[in-house]
Amino acid sequence: MIFFKNWRLLLFAAPALALYGGFFLLPAVQGLRYATTDWDGYSPAFTDVGLSNLTDVVSDDDLFRNALTNNLKFLLVVVLGQTALALLLAVLLAARSRASTALRALFFLPTVLSSVSVAFIWKFVYDPNFGLANSLLGAAGLDRFQSAYLGDEATAILWVAVAQIWFHAGQMMVIYIAGINQIPEELYDAAKTDGAGRWQQFRHVTWPMVAPATALVIAYTSLQSFKAFDLILGLAGNPPRSSLDVLSTRIYTTFTNSQLGYAAAESVIFMVAIAAVTLLQNRAARMVHG
């Protein structure tokens, strides 16, 4: 029975595999079965509807498409905005000093809060009449920039993205700082000898050298953007209106609307969407890095 050396090590993995297989992989596969029914989640009876749930989700469901669009917008803004901000902060704080250590700690702080807390904080920031944002704009004489924020149909999801960036930029900053600190000082010295200014140093030394960190930050941020469930539920209420709906909240709403089979079908498409985004990112990363 010895297939290879150390096969007993498989026993080490057995308990974890059993739990993870039984309570994560198995339900994930089982979801496919639910997706082909019209089960409401509680009745003993249900009908097999074949692939019609799946085709409906893909081709005949404005609410799902709207949630997908919002989710992609959200993802794009968070990935670009958060990555750029994290890199900027990291460049500014990479040098060690007492002040920079303190600021790093402050910028990282929101990460340890719960999404619900962050949502409540931002709900108050965005309140059009009593909130922080409009009050500050008003005090600064910038009334014309005041907004309804989460109530503004076209931009609502972007304001959620701002809250998300506030929440997690510090975490990504730390990854960048680690990346920057690994860059050999000689590279900068050489660039300086060549007469490179600060921008050129960044362009030709820092940016290419933090490429692995960038890949990590983007991959993680994307996955996080798909998970923005708690934040949106806290900010938008349950169920969120269409301008704030994303895929995870759409699935949850469908489920609470007693359409478990259809919610399972939405989950299947959700997984496909994530796979597609991941694939695209890998492609893009390969193109950028030759």
Q: What residues between 66 and 85 interact with another protein by CB under 8 A?
A: none
175 binds another protein (CB under 8 A): yes
Segment 177-236, which members bind another protein (CB under 8 A)? 178, 216-217, 220, 223, 226-227, 229-230, 233-234
Which of these ranges, 75-83, 200-208, 268-276, 280-288, lies near another protein under the rule CB under 8 A?
Answer: 268-276
44 upstream amide cis, omega within 30 of 0: no
Query: Does 12 sit near another protein (CB under 8 A)?
Result: yes
Are residues 227 and 248 in contact, defined by beta-carbon separation less than 8 angstroms?
yes
21-218-172-123 Cα dihedral, nearest 10 degrees: -90
Written as six digits, the tokens of 94 are 């990479």
One residue of 58, 137, 148, 196 binding another protein per CB under 8 A: 148
Answer for which of 75, 79, 160, 264 binds another protein (CB under 8 A) is 264
Q: Residue 167 is which amino acid?
A: F
Closer Cβ to another protein, 153 or 194, answer by number: 153
Q: 190 vs 279, which CB is nearer to another protein?
A: 279
CB-CB contact of 167 with 111 (8 Å)? yes
Question: 25 vs 51, which CB is nearer to another protein?
Answer: 25
Nearer to another protein by Cβ, of 130 and 186: the residue is 130
Q: Which amino acid is at 141?
A: G
Burial of 102-134, coded b for 16+ CB within 10 Å and e otherwise, reads ebbeebeebeeeebeebbebbbebbbeeebebb
Residues 230-259 within binding reach of another protein (CB under 8 A):
230, 233-234, 237-242, 247-248, 251-258
Site membership for another protein, residue 160 (CB under 8 A) = no
Helix ranges, the chain (H): 9-20, 26-34, 52-59, 62-93, 98-108, 115-126, 132-139, 156-181, 185-193, 198-201, 207-209, 211-226, 229-236, 247-256, 260-288
**Amino acid identity of 193?**
T
Site for another protein in 20-39 (CB under 8 A): 20-28, 30-31, 33-34, 37, 39
Among 134, 164, 206, 214, binds another protein (CB under 8 A): 134
Stretch that binds another protein, among 76-84, 88-96, 183-191, 203-211 (CB under 8 A): 88-96
CB of 74 or CB of 126, closer to another protein:
126
- Number of residues this chain uses to bind another protein (CB under 8 A): 127
